[in-house]
């Protein structure tokens, strides 16, 4: 045994050339894997820094035309005839309905009564003026005849006192009380001249009365113009569409024959070439949204069709108040309304319906992945 120990020598195992080659391949493989991992890490860091993704707020809402025109009654009355149905697409100026106005009919009756009264007053005044003119005419002739007779009497009596008297000179210079007989004749002349003057003043008064007649004629003409206006309104009391669009009001056929007061709401028309997605947002998210933010929306009504896809829209208004409990959008009570106009030309706007359910994704900002990562860490 001792001899064997002395002869024992420590040495490495014999490695063949094949084994050495295998080790080199293993070393190269490890190096390559390490390099690939390093490259992947670098690429990942670059991607997280340079690649940005959209930060979006999801919301639900409803579809509405961008412009809604509410039609109100121009006069009180009942719907005599309807020419449209709910959902119809109409052009500006299209006849919507004809109104049977009770107020206008009442106004026509009142104005006819007033016309009758004014016309009677005018006829009476005109007849009275004609009669008075005739009376004045004959009275004037009678007075002129009396004056001729009075002057003849005056001349006859003067000849008893004066030889070939100058009538005008004596008449103008005669002093009353000089001769009682001549005084009687003189008084008759003066009285007749005064009577003629009175009749002439009455004729002047007739001219003044003609102003009253003209005033009544003017009132009558105005009443006749008003009557013609009312009759035209009654014959052509047509409600026309102020815009081109779609009839939004449901069950409009039920309005036939219904009575409306002047100014009452009748129906709504939505402009059909532009549509809004009204989205409703929680108060925790409303401050993140800005005007002109991009929106991706889809319409649930088109979900089972080949037209179901996301459409582009843009925020145009943000409500400053929450939805009221009894308001138009009461089903979205306590949320904020955000309106986005659809700007996608691929959308067939004519096939859209008021009130379609909308799902929207509001893109509030774009961030790199690494920023999002650190934001989440900070939170």
Full DSSP string of 83-150: ---TT-EE-TT-EEEEEE-HHHHHHHHHHHHHHHHHHHHHHHHHHHHHHHHHHHHHHHHHHHHHHHHH
Distance of alpha carbon 21 from the chain centroid? 92
Exposed / middle / buried, residue 101 (Cβ in 10 Å: 0-12, 13-18, 19+): buried
* Per-residue confidence (pLDDT) for residue 267, from 0 to 100: 92
Other C-beta atoms lying within 10 Å of the C-beta of residue 79: 20
* Per-residue confidence (pLDDT) for residue 166, from 0 to 100: 65
User: Does residue 115 carry a pLDDT above 60?
Assistant: yes
- Interatomic CA distance for residues 349 and 270, integer angstroms: 12
Assigned fold of 55-69+271-378: Elongation Factor Tu (Ef-tu); domain 3 (2.40.30)
* Per-residue confidence (pLDDT) for residue 318, from 0 to 100: 93
- Interatomic CA distance for residues 213 and 124, integer angstroms: 10
Instruction: Please state the pTM of the whole predicted model.
Output: 0.51
User: Does residue 317 carry a pLDDT above 90?
Assistant: yes
Mean pLDDT score across all residues of the chain: 81
Assigned fold of 72-99+237-266: OB fold (Dihydrolipoamide Acetyltransferase, E2P) (2.40.50)
- pLDDT tier for residue 359 given thresholds of 50, 70 and 90: very high
Beta bridge partners of 71: 267
Full DSSP string of 268-320: EEE-SS-EEEEEEE-TTTGGG--TT-EEEEEEGGGTTSTT---EEEEEEEEEE
Q: What is the pLDDT of residues 286-309, one digit of tens each?
A: 998 999 999 998 888 777 766 667
- pLDDT tier for residue 156 given thresholds of 50, 70 and 90: confident
Name residue, tokens 């009678």: 142
* Per-residue confidence (pLDDT) for residue 306, from 0 to 100: 63
Kindly state the tokens that stand for 9.
């020598």
Q: Over the Cα atoms of the chain, what is R_g?
A: 54
User: Does residue 135 carry a pLDDT above 50?
Assistant: yes
The mean pLDDT of 233-245, rounded to a whole number, is 83
* Per-residue confidence (pLDDT) for residue 375, from 0 to 100: 62
Least confident of 86-95, 101-110, 153-162: 153-162
* Per-residue confidence (pLDDT) for residue 49, from 0 to 100: 65
CB-based burial, 239-254: b 16+ in 10 Å, e otherwise: bebebebbbbbeebee
For the chain, percent of residues with pLDDT exceeding 90: 22
User: Does residue 93 carry a pLDDT above 60?
Assistant: yes
For the chain, percent of residues with pLDDT exceeding 70: 80
Degrees, nearest 5: CA angle 242-245-247: 95
The mean pLDDT of 212-232, rounded to a whole number, is 88
- Interatomic CA distance for residues 346 and 299, integer angstroms: 14
Q: What is the pLDDT of residues 257-282, one digit of tens each?
A: 898 888 899 999 988 778 899 999 99
- Interatomic CA distance for residues 293 and 114, integer angstroms: 64
- pLDDT tier for residue 126 given thresholds of 50, 70 and 90: confident
Contact 103, 75 (CB under 8 A): yes
Side-chain-facing half-sphere of 310: CA atoms under 13 Å: 9
């Amino acid at each position: 045994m001792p001899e064997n120990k002395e002869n024992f020598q420590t040495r490495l195992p014999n490695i063949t050339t094949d084994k050495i080659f295998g080790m080199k391949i293993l070393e190269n493989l490890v190096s390559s894997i390490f390099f690939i991992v390093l490259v992947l890490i670098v690429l990942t860091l670059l991607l997280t820094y340079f690649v940005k993704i959209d930060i979006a707020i999801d919301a639900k809402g409803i579809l509405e035309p961008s412009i809604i025109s509410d039609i109100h009654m121009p006069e009180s009355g009942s719907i005599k005839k309807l020419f449209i149905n709910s959902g119809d697409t109409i052009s500006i100026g299209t006849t919507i309905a004809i109104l049977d106005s009770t107020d206008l009919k009442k106004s026509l009756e009142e104005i006819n009564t007033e016309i009758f009264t004014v016309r009677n007053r005018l006829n009476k005044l005109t007849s009275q003026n004609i009669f008075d003119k005739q009376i004045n005419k004959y009275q004037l002739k009678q007075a002129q005849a009396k004056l001729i007779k009075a002057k003849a009497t005056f001349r006859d009596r003067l000849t008893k006192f004066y030889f070939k008297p100058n009538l005008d000179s004596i008449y103008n210079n005669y002093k009353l009380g000089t001769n009682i007989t001549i005084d009687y004749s003189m008084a008759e002349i003066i009285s007749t001249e005064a009577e003629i003057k009175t009749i002439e003043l009455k004729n002047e008064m007739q001219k003044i009365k003609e102003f009253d007649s003209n005033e009544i004629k003017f009132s009558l003409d105005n009443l006749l113009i008003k009557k013609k206006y009312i009759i035209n309104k009654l014959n052509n009391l047509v409600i026309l569409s102020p815009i081109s669009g779609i009839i939004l009001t449901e069950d409009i056929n039920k309005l036939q024959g219904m009575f409306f007061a002047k100014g009452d709401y009748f129906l709504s028309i939505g402009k059909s070439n532009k549509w809004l997605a009204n989205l409703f947002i929680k108060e925790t998210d409303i401050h993140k949204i800005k005007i002109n933010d991009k929106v991706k929306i889809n319409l649930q009504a088109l979900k089972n069709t080949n037209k179901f896809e996301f459409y582009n829209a843009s925020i145009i208004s943000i409500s400053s108040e929450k939805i009221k409990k009894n308001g138009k959008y009461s089903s979205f009570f306590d949320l904020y309304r955000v309106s986005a106009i659809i700007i996608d030309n691929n959308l067939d706007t004519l096939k859209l319906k008021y009130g379609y359910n909308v799902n929207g994704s509001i893109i509030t900002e774009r961030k790199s992945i690494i920023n999002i990562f650190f934001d989440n860490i900070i939170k």
